[in-house]
Structure 1
Amino acid sequence: MGAVAASARQSWAADVVAPQPGERVLEVGCGHGVLAALLAERAGEVLAVDRSPTMVAAAGRRNRAAVEAGRVRLQAAALADADLGSGPFDVVVGFDVRALWDPAQEMTWDVVDRVLAPDGRVIVAFSVMTPGTEDDVVAAVSRLAGARGLVAAGVHRRAVGEGIGSAAVELRRPAAAATPPSG
């Protein structure tokens, strides 16, 4: 597949996720499918879910070749209603998906916990539009994930000087969090 036209923020997020060949990746809230395309260039399989059929249609157009090759699957559904298959995911990622830090959407984390491989990781990336909000989002994500046995293994930052600032919290189960990722 050729290079994907992506913003610096989406490219940064793909680098933070850094999926390995053969890994199964679940993207929550895929939007137009830009991140799914970037992840599909590296991972074994990407399942991209968005509650908006319009967004999933756009993601399908963007990822047509990867869908035809079986590297990307797309679903228009709320995460709780999506057919996520039977196998676990090595990585679950969401970029600017409020349900991952909104306590009112706690059931999202129940699904993530259920489908995440024992040594898998979760990457919750988000735009930092207002100074000071980053710590609040990281704390909310850590609380919600922590209730399911996941701990923050690190926070990645993309400086505002590079456009809109971004941050990502990486979460793992405690045994996996103690072992730093290779690479």
Structure 2
Amino acid sequence: MKMKWQPYIRTVPAYFDHPDYIQALANSVQEAYDGFSTRPTKLVASYHGVPERYLMEGDPYHCQCQKTTRLLREKLGFSKEEVDTAFQSQFGPEKWVGPQTVKHVAELAEQGHKHIAIMSPAFSSDCVETLEEIEEEIRDSFMEAGGETFSYIPCLNDRDDHIDALLAVINNELAGWLSAP
């Protein structure tokens, strides 16, 4: 705020619906499904939760998550019944957007979905939340409710198609800022 000369700032917009990103997600799901001995009856796309108040105040994140799941489902050719959206990492006294992943997977097991796969599309790389929360707390919730096969599909991490998607987003945003060689 004390600078007399303000630098140019350009931010990268959310890329939740970028075609290359959706394709990378679809590739990761398809590769995982190809390796499963039992096909999951449900794919759960679990996103980081936010208080419901954010949605009511106009924050687009919840809608962006829903769109990512829809685009992924369509890219995979899965039916609406095969893919759910849920939200993890809720804490504090406020009401959060739902359904809550840890409860949702238990309900799925109780409804007869004994084989599920879960992924975290909003995380670009695996971290404590994806590795500990999903692989322990959420897995335990599903198994204790009668689930049989819980398959975690890793985040995109350093997959080539993920890096290519990020480069496409970055190159688009740099257009007009960098001159051609």
TM-score norm. by structure 1 comes to 0.42
* Higher RCO by CA contacts (8 Å cutoff, separation 6 or greater): 2
| Structure having the larger proportion of residues in helix | 2
Larger radius of gyration: 2
| Structure having the larger proportion of residues in strand | 1
